[in-house]
């Protein structure tokens, strides 16, 4: 069974905080580029940190569709479910 | 909202760049007089950013072969290989490339960019997986995106990270294709190919190596990094370009895998674009012979690379992690890098300015590429003028006091163009 209690969004935010090294006012609607000011390098570092944390590889086309933290959380959840 | 409003951010960044001086994206040389010199704003300028590794753009035999080809076969093919037919020269060059690399098959493309576009997008089908280095050239990213396979990237030159990616894919159906470069174009560092080959074998993946910057440069016979490291048998496809050490334009892929020839009727960036003109084929063929027959060019190139790399490093600059013909100075402050590039141009030295996000970090690079044709004087001139500008911009420790520096700056402002470059250039003209 899928571990429904896992707080993927929360884990994403804590990874993000460790990557940019400061606490964030991050909610799932936040847009990674326009709200959180991430450029392509920051996004790459962030996604690689997430890949390590969740032990998944996020294909580039999936990452390209991600706009908000919520999208990211859905994508990772999908990948984790597929891996089961 | 207008059609172009999505580029507002890009336009603003570009405007800031041009406001700081010349526009690095639209430098126009009035003339190119040799493999290492051009004329810019009436001034002789040393070219240290052209990827002309062996200096073959001005090789006499190559120029002659091109001129004869134009005279005999005309200026262009006016169509693709499948529509208009191949010329004898296309097929011959493919055979020569295959023989050069000791492979069974060769395919020529109209540019190296299209070679990556074509091979990556065609080889990797919907159910396969592409695993690429994160610092890959744009043509690798674009080729990966053009195809239908999922693409994952691993941390630059990091076999451990590559292994994680391969392990995650181990139970997935479909083929896994790893793509790396011989020498990476921005910092001049080379791939840990032996480790990558070992992973490729362990996980049953295919391996493509883009030797764009390492062909003609590395290996006893100039076959690139795979030859240098003795791992050619593990490389399934070599991709390369004619636009660097071979001094013309075009791209290729060679392989010994059975089935390779099918790509000719499946690979759209090969099928639906005009083939290379006869003059290009002729000089490229000639250049390929020179790469094999004149290892002394590689030795001279290596000497020049070492002089520049160690010269800049001794002057106190932060340079790339290893010595290669691509020598990049890393500058954290992007505005200073732009000023640096402009000052070099005013003093007669042309290098490439690489700004984030084209660089793999938040820093800017002043990217030099060395040629076997550079004279020792030209390399010394480059080190001197870069050190001088580095001191003036406060990037290197200055020996002069603040006050005298300011006085000199004021004087320079009145006479921006200096005769030094002309001197260095004239020595080799
Ligand atoms: C690694 C790499 N691959 C491919 C290319 C594209 O080559 P071409 O200039 O022939 O399109 C380049 C150079 O621009 C490159 O650096």
Q: What is the CATH number of the domain that holds A37?
A: 1.10.1200.10
> Which burial class, exposed, middle or buried, applies to B37 when counting CB atoms under 10 A from its CB (0-12, 13-18, 19+)?
buried
Q: Give the HSE-up count for residue B129: Cα atoms under 13 Å, Cβ half-sphere.
A: 23
Tell me which residue has tokens 């240098």: B228
Q: What is the DSSP letter of B275?
A: P
Which among B150, B151, B361 is the nearest to A41, CB-wise? B361
Q: What is the per-residue pLDDT for B399?
A: 65
Q: What is the per-residue pLDDT for B415?
A: 37
**Does any ligand 1 atom lie closer than 6 A to the CB of residue B116?**
yes
Q: What is the per-residue pLDDT for B424?
A: 35
Contacts A37 to B, Cβ<8 Å? none
Domain limits for position A69? 2-83
**pTM, to two decimals:** 0.91
Q: What is the per-residue pLDDT for A18?
A: 84
Q: What is the per-residue pLDDT for B398?
A: 76
Q: What is the per-residue pLDDT for B42?
A: 95
ipTM of the complex: 0.89
Residue B349 pairs with which residues in a beta bridge?
B46
Report whether B176 contacts B203 (CB < 8 A).
Answer: yes
Q: Which fold has domain B13-47+296-409?
A: 3.90.1150
Please give the torsion angle defined by the CA atoms of residues B189, B194, B198 and B204, in that order, rounded to the nearest 10 degrees: 70
Q: Which fold has domain B58-293?
A: 3.40.640
Q: What is the per-residue pLDDT for A24?
A: 72
A53 vs A5, higher pLDDT:
A53
Q: What is the per-residue pLDDT for A37?
A: 78
Atom 3, ligand 1: residue with shortest CA distance: B212
d(CA B122, CA A82) in angstroms, rounded, equals: 26
Report whether B321 contacts B117 (CB < 8 A).
Answer: no
| Separation of CA B115 and ligand 1 centre (Å) | 9
Residue B241 pairs with which residues in a beta bridge?
B251
Pairwise CB contact (< 8 Å): B153 & A60: yes
d(CA B1, CA B22) in angstroms, rounded, equals: 30
Q: What is the per-residue pLDDT for A4?
A: 53
Average pLDDT of every residue of chain A: 85
Q: What is the per-residue pLDDT for B29?
A: 96
DSSP E strands in B134-291: the ranges are 151-154, 176-181, 206-210, 237-241, 251-255
The one-digit pLDDT tens for each residue of chain B (429 residues) are 799 999 998 899 899 889 888 788 889 999 999 999 999 999 999 999 999 999 999 999 999 999 999 999 999 999 999 999 999 999 999 999 999 999 999 999 999 999 999 999 999 999 999 999 999 999 999 999 999 999 999 999 999 999 999 999 999 999 999 999 999 999 999 999 999 999 999 999 999 999 999 999 999 999 999 999 999 999 999 999 999 999 999 999 999 999 999 999 999 999 999 999 999 999 999 999 999 999 999 999 999 999 999 999 999 999 999 999 999 999 999 999 999 999 999 999 999 999 988 888 889 999 999 999 999 999 999 999 999 999 999 999 876 544 444 444 544 443 333 333 333 333 332
Shortest Cα distance, chain A CAs vs residue B238, angstroms = 24
Please give the torsion angle defined by the CA atoms of residues B135, B138, B139 and B142, in that order, rounded to the nearest 10 degrees: 110
Q: What is the per-residue pLDDT for B20?
A: 84
Which among A41, A44, A61 is the nearest to B150, CB-wise? A61
Nearest by Cα to B51 from B302, B289, B243, B294: B243
Within this chain, domains B13-47+296-409 and B58-293 share the same CATH topology: no
Q: What is the per-residue pLDDT for A34?
A: 81
Number of domains into which chain A is organized: 1
**Does any ligand 1 atom lie closer than 6 A to the CB of residue B229?**
no
Alpha-carbon Rg of chain A, whole angstroms? 12
């Amino acid at each position: 069974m899928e571990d429904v209690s896992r707080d993927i969004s929360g884990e994403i935010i804590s990874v993000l905080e460790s990557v940019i090294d400061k606490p964030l006012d991050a909610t799932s609607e936040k847009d990674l580029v326009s709200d959180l000011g991430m450029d392509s390098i920051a996004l790459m570092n962030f996604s690689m940190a997430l890949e390590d944390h969740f032990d998944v590889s996020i294909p580039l086309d999936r990452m390209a569709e991600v706009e908000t933290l919520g999208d990211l959380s859905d994508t990772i959840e999908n990948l984790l479910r597929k891996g089961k | 909202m207008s059609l172009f409003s999505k580029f507002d951010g890009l336009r603003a960044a570009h405007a800031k760049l041009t406001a700081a001086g010349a526009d690095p994206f639209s430098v126009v040389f009035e003339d190119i007089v040799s493999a290492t010199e051009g004329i810019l704003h009436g001034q002789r300028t040393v070219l240290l950013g052209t990827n002309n590794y062996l200096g073959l753009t001005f090789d006499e035999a190559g120029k002659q072969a091109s001129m004869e080809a134009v005279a005999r076969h005309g200026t262009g093919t006016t169509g693709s290989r499948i529509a208009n037919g191949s010329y004898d020269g296309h097929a011959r060059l493919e055979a020569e490339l295959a023989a050069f690399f000791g492979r069974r098959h060769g395919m020529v493309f109209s540019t190296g960019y299209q070679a990556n576009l074509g091979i990556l997008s065609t080889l990797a089908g919907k159910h396969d997986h592409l695993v690429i280095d994160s610092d890959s050239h744009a043509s690798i990213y674009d080729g990966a995106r053009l195809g239908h396979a999922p693409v994952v990237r691993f941390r630059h030159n990091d076999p451990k990270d590559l292994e994680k990616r391969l392990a995650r894919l181990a139970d997935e159906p479909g083929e896994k294709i790893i793509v790396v470069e011989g020498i990476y174009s921005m910092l001049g560092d080379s791939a840990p190919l032996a480790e990558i080959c070992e992973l490729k074998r362990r996980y049953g993946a295919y391996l493509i190596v883009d030797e764009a910057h390492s062909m003609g440069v590395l290996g006893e016979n100039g076959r690139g990094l795979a030859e240098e490291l003795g791992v050619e048998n593990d490389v399934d496809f070599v991709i390369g370009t004619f636009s660097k050490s071979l001094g013309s334009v075009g791209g290729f892929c060679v392989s010994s895998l059975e089935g390779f020839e099918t790509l000719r009727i499946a690979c759209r960036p090969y099928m639906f674009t005009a083939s290379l003109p006869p003059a290009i084929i002729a000089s490229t063929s000639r250049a390929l012979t020179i790469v094999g027959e004149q290892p002394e060019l590689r030795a001279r190139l290596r000497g020049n690379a070492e002089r520049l790399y160690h010269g800049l490093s001794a002057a106190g600059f932060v340079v790339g992690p290893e010595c290669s013909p691509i020598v990049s100075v890393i500058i954290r402050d992007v505005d200073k890098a732009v000023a640096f590039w402009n000052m070099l141009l005013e003093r007669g030295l042309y290098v490439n300015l690489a700004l984030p996000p084209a660089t793999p970090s938040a820093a800017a690079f002043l990217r030099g590429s060395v040629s076997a044709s550079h004279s020792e004087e030209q390399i010394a001139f480059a080190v001197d003028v870069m050190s001088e500008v580095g001191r003036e911009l406060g990037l290197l420790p200055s020996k002069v006091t603040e006050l005298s520096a300011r006085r000199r700056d004021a004087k320079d402002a009145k006479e921006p163009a200096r005769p030094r470059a002309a001197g260095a250039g004239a020595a080799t003209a």
